[in-house]
Amino acid sequence: MLNLILKRFGVAAATILGASLFSFFLLRKLPGDPARLVGGELADEQTITSLRQAMGLDSPLQEQFWNYITSSFHGDLGFSYTIGQPVSELVRTRLPATVELGLTGVATAVVLATVFAAIAVYRKKKGADVSLRIASSLAMGSPPFWLALVAILLLSVNLGIFPGPEGRLSPSLLPPPTITGLYTVDSILSGQFGTFFDALRHLILPALTIAVGPFAFLSRLFRSQLRNTMREPFIVVARSRGLLRGSVFLRHAVPNSLLSLVAATAMLLAETMTGSVLVEKVFGWPGVGSLTVDAILQKDFAVVQGVILLSATLYVTVSFLADVVYVVVDPRIRAGAK
């Protein structure tokens, strides 16, 4: 078992290293000169030279990489000259926003996908199933950023049900004290219910938009998994023991099928955490995604590098956590792990 853990850890570390290596050399092959960017339009050669020195751009590439790896172990991810803050600080302030959005979005997707797929499979009539398939195909095919725009136009501008694309909170409100960094959680923990409702209102539209893609994916997966599970012998056996179709469905088919969602959900979570760029951009959500876009356009190495490292780490961690969940939830694997 220890061997297995060590091996997994090794693979994870190699993967993160690979991702950093890949991005590092890809990014350092850039035509633009970051020092010139920082120096600004009127910088003379002397300024550029000393800036290159200060930014560590004058040393050989492999040395730069080594420096980068060693300092990132100490939590130093470099300095963002386009934002004026250390990258670690940026990640610290931006990540909770992304996590809150990603978690809510994926959780919504999981709930909706399981509920609708379950109804579609459970109903004997074809209507529910056909509706689900149409809905999920449309969800799969809709560009999320476009959907966000339409939602904003209809629901917040025209009907005023939701706030405009203004980020996590009404500008007039102060964010709750930082406990977890998630505004909805923090506001409840500190008893600021007005802030909670405001944060929730701001969260609903972006989270729903985020949820569209994962919903399409998960509802398909869960539907086919449920159908397969319903064909498993133990389902008929349970029926033969006198359980009603509904009980068998809820007590046996659904829990067994849910297992198959764990890995997919984990991957979706990792993907939305780092890939929610578009939705963040449209809703003015101050997360990692919108940070990344600006950093790429501004060629802010340190930030892009940091985000990629973060993304790789997230992926590896999340897939590891998914395995842990399996061990906890699935008795067969749990037994194997002992």
Partner 1 sequence: MPRRIEARGRVQRSAIGAAVVLFAGALSACGSTSSSGSTTASKPFTVNWAVNITSLDPAFTCPGDENSFASNFYGRLVKLSTNETSPGITQIDPDPSKVQPDFATKWDVSDEGKTYTFTLQSGKKFDNGDPLDAAAVKYSLDRTLKIGACGALSLQLGITQPPLITSVEAPNATTVVIHMRQAYPALLYSLAQSRGSIYNPKEIEAHGGVQANSPNQWLQSHTASSSGPYVLSEYVPGNHAVLTRNPNYYGTPALEPTVRVNFVTAVPTLQVQAQNREADVTLGLPPQVVKNLSTQACCKVITADSPTPVTVSMNYQGELTNNAKFREALTYAVPYTDIINKVAYGYGDSYYGPIVPGMAGYKASLEPARTYDLGKAKQLMAESGVNSPTLNLMINPTAPGVSDIATLLQSAWQQIGVTVNIDAKPPADFTTLFNQGKYQSALLFENSTPIGGYELRKKLTCDAPTNNQHICIPGTMPLLDQLNNTADPAAQQPIVDSLVQKWLENSPTIILYRAKFTAVVSPDVKHFAYAPNFRLADWGR
Partner 2 sequence: MTESNASTMTIDAANAAPERDTLLDVRGLRTEFQTARGRVAAVRDVSFTIRRRQRLAIVGESGSGKSAMAMSIVGLIQPPGRVTAGEIRLGGTNLRELSDRKLSEVRGGRISLVFQDPMSAFDPIRTIGSQMIESIRVHQSVSKRMARRQAADLLGEVGVTDASSRLSDYPHQYSGGMRQRVLIAMALANSPELVIADEPTTALDVTTQAQVLELLDRLVTDRGAALMLITHNLGIVAGFCDSVKVMYAGQLIEESESRALFASAAHPYSRELLKCVLRTDRRQEGLLSTIPGTLPDPTQPFKGCSFEPRCPLGKGNPLCQGVEPPLATVQGPHGVQLAKCHFAGQLELKEDQ
Partner 3 sequence: MAVAVAEAPITVARRRIVKGDKVLVGALGGLALIALIVIVGPFVWHYDANATELTAQLSAPSAEHPLGTDNLGRDLLARVLTGARTSLGAGAVVVIAGAVLGSVTGLLAGALGGMVDTVLTWLTNSILCFPSIMLAMAVVMALKPGIPAVVIGLSIHSFPWYMRTIRGEVMRIAALDFVKSTNAIGASQGRILFRHIFPHLVSTIVLQMAAVFGAAVLSLAAMGFLGMGAQPPEAELGAMITEGQQFFLTGQWWMAAFPGLVLLIAVTLTTVIADRARELLDPRGEYIVAD
Positions touching partner 2 (CB under 8 A) are: 124, 231-234, 236-245, 247, 251-252, 255-256, 259, 329-332, 335
Under 8 Å between Cβ of 65 and 29: no
Taking the complex as a whole, how short is the minimal distance between the CB of residue 3 and partner 2, in angstroms? 23
Supply the DSSP string of 132-174, one letter for each residue. Answer: HHHHHHHHHHS-HHHHHHHHIIIIIIIS-SS--S--SS-TTSP
d(CA 238, CA 214): 32
Minimum distance, C-beta of residue 132 to partner 2, in the bound complex (Å): 18
Closest to 98 measured CA to CA, from 211, 212, 207, 215? 207
* Separation CA 211–CA 219 (nearest Å): 11
Interaction partner, residue 232 (partner 2, partner 1, partner 3, none; CB < 5-8 Å by kind): partner 2
Among partner 1, partner 2, partner 3, none, partner that 329 touches (CB below 5 to 8 angstroms by kind): partner 2
332 binds, among partner 2, partner 3, partner 1, none (CB under 5 to 8 A by kind): partner 2
Neighbouring C-beta atoms of residue 310, cutoff 10 Å: 20
Token pair 């133990």: residue: 234
Residue 284 binding: pick among partner 1, partner 3, partner 2, none (C-beta 5-8 Å cut-off by kind): partner 1
Q: Which does 237 bind (CB under 5 to 8 A by kind): partner 2, partner 1, partner 3, none?
A: partner 2
Look up residue 94 and give its two tokens.
């931006």
According to DSSP, the β-strands at 85-86 and 79-80 are antiparallel
The pair of three-digit structure tokens given for residue 246, joined into one six-digit string:
């509904």
User: What span, in angstroms and rounded, lies between the C-alpha atoms of 153 and 307?
Assistant: 31
Nearest approach in angstroms of CB 322 to partner 1 is 25
Q: Please, which residue, 207 or 254, has the CB nearer to partner 2?
A: 254
CB count in 10 Å sphere of residue 221: 19
First to last CA, the chain: 8
> Judged by CB under 8 A, which stretch of 63-71, 96-104, 244-252, 268-276 contacts partner 3?
268-276
**Residue 149 sits in the site that holds partner 3 (CB under 8 A):** yes
Amino acid type, 120: A
Among candidates 247, 265, 267, 260, which has minimal Cα distance to 329?
260
Residues 225-244 touching partner 3, rule: CB under 8 A, are 228
* 35 in contact with partner 3 (CB under 8 A): no
Smallest distance from partner 1 to CB 58, Å: 13
Q: Which is nearer to partner 2, 172 or 240 (CB)?
A: 240
Q: In a 3-state reduction of DSSP, which class is residue 284?
A: coil
Give residues in contact with partner 3 (CB under 8 A). Answer: 11, 14-19, 21-23, 26-27, 29-31, 133, 137-138, 140-147, 149-150, 152-153, 157, 220, 228, 271, 274-275, 277-278, 281, 292-293, 296-297, 299, 304, 307-308, 311-312, 315-316
